[in-house]
Amino acid sequence: MKFPSLFSPLKVGPYQLQHRVVMAPLTRMRAEKPSLAPRPLNVEYYAQRATPGGLIIAEASPVVNTGFGSPGIPGIYSEQQIAGWRKVVDAVHAKGGIIFLQLWHVGRVSHSSFQPGGALPVAPSAVAISSEFKAMTAEGKVVEYETPRALETSEIPGVIDAYREGAKNALKAGFDGVEIHGANGYLIEQFLQSRSNLRTDQYGGSIENRVRFLMDVTKAVIEVWGANRVGVRLSPYGIANGSGEADPMPLYSHAIKSLDPLGLAYLHFIEPRSSGAGRAEVNHQNVPSAMVLYRPMWSGVLITAGGFTGETADAAIAAGHADAIAFGRIFISNPDLPRRLRRAYPITPYNRATFYGGEQKGYTDYPAHDEMAQA
């Protein structure tokens, strides 16, 4: 029997991938201001990374104007943003690529400076992120997190509707599917985890209740897209943005087993060893492997991310731990990453200083391997 590799084809929902090198969702804070719509620079960046039959998961994009926690993030709630995203999608499609959009609401990982009228950010409960983590204001200043305002039970359907609207807008923009951001300490994970969810209504308390918001959002998005074009991202055992469940196994087992029968396009993990990689260079030791722990509970396509190289990605796929591997940081610095991995070309190191905000530098100016050879 021949084992699948990083370069075996893979069916994801209705789409036939030609390889399994997925571009992970990557916040880059370079949208147009003040519209927060993707602009030509963003089109060029995604087009550089598109390959025939390659899956790109576009950066997390708030579904509503209360869902932001950093400046320069593209949204998916206005006509201008939909039009901007349409150009990104068209450019990726022109190269034969497949592109999903990650739907986002940051919840308490926001600051009143982002909120209409300077209101407090909303969250499942009025619990602030601890002071070891810092918030960023709309002006880019680093400050303490505020204590968010707990959503009323009566407001929750409105938040779920915002995800539904974001999903509809992504459909209008021409995306091939959407991924629900249930990872990294943002709103959905705040509902999942007991440290950020102290609610006593049907959205808090028991594991079943804490998983309810994730399930309600997922079902709302499925109504728009059909299950096989919807993915969900989770980060069990993660510690990003003040998250962390004391005993993650029962919580995430329940969540994954509840999602499994829905027939989603895929489930997508952030491996615990790389939790918080967006904020700092991490390589957590003595942590479990999400793909190894949860693969037996998931019957669909499983994508995972976190510090993979071509070799470790191939090994994970050959072992059956995952079906595809998402690459984040090295996809930033290697626009032609699938080809480089296939040919075992050297990998250009990334420059963390240019991850967030700015223009071309560290964004669209990383050369492809062949351009380097000519230089």
Q: Give contact residues for ligand FMN (rule: CB under 6 A).
A: 24-27, 59-60, 102, 181, 183-184, 233, 270, 274, 277-278, 305-308, 327-329, 355
Per the residue annotation, which of 45, 77, 186, 366 is the catalytic one? 186
Catalytic residue flag (residue 15): no
The C-alpha angle with vertex 256 and arms to 18 and 184, in degrees rounded to 5, equals 80
Query: CB 375 → ligand FMN: shortest distance, Å?
Result: 26
The C-alpha angle with vertex 206 and arms to 201 and 209, in degrees rounded to 5, equals 55
Query: CB 217 → ligand FMN: shortest distance, Å?
Result: 15
Residues forming beta bridges with residue 302, ordered by sequence position: 267
Which tokens sit at 170? 């992504």
Query: CB 216 → ligand FMN: shortest distance, Å?
Result: 20
Query: CB 103 → ligand FMN: shortest distance, Å?
Result: 10
Give 84 or 204: the residue with its C-beta nearer to ligand FMN: 84
Contact 69, 123 (CB under 8 A): no
Give 47 or 60: the residue with its C-beta nearer to ligand FMN: 60
| Cβ partners under 8 Å of residue 277, min gap 6 | 270, 306, 307, 328, 329
Give 226 or 307: the residue with its C-beta nearer to ligand FMN: 307
Q: Measure the CA–CA gap between 4 and 185, rounded to whole angstroms.
A: 33
Query: CB 28 → ligand FMN: shortest distance, Å?
Result: 7
Give 77 or 355: the residue with its C-beta nearer to ligand FMN: 355
Which residue's Cβ has the minimum distance to ligand FMN?
A: 328
Q: Measure the CA–CA gap between 21 and 55, rounded to whole angstroms.
A: 7
Long-range contacts of 220-225 (CB under 8 A, 24+ apart): 220/160, 220/161, 220/163, 220/164, 220/167, 221/103, 221/163, 221/164, 221/167, 221/178, 221/180, 222/262, 223/164, 224/164, 224/167, 224/168, 224/171, 225/167, 225/171, 225/177, 225/178
Contact 260, 206 (CB under 8 A): no
Give 51 or 204: the residue with its C-beta nearer to ligand FMN: 51
Please name the amino acid found at residue 49. Answer: R
Query: CB 99 → ligand FMN: shortest distance, Å?
Result: 14
H or E segment to which residue 222 belongs: helix 207-225
Q: Measure the CA–CA gap between 232 and 25, rounded to whole angstroms.
A: 12
| Cβ partners under 8 Å of residue 272, min gap 6 | 235, 236, 237, 238, 284, 287, 288, 289, 290, 306
Give 84 or 328: the residue with its C-beta nearer to ligand FMN: 328
Give 65 or 333: the residue with its C-beta nearer to ligand FMN: 333
Query: CB 279 → ligand FMN: shortest distance, Å?
Result: 8
Crossing angle of the two packed helices 40-49 and 79-94, in degrees rounded to 10: 30
Enumerate the active-site residues: 186
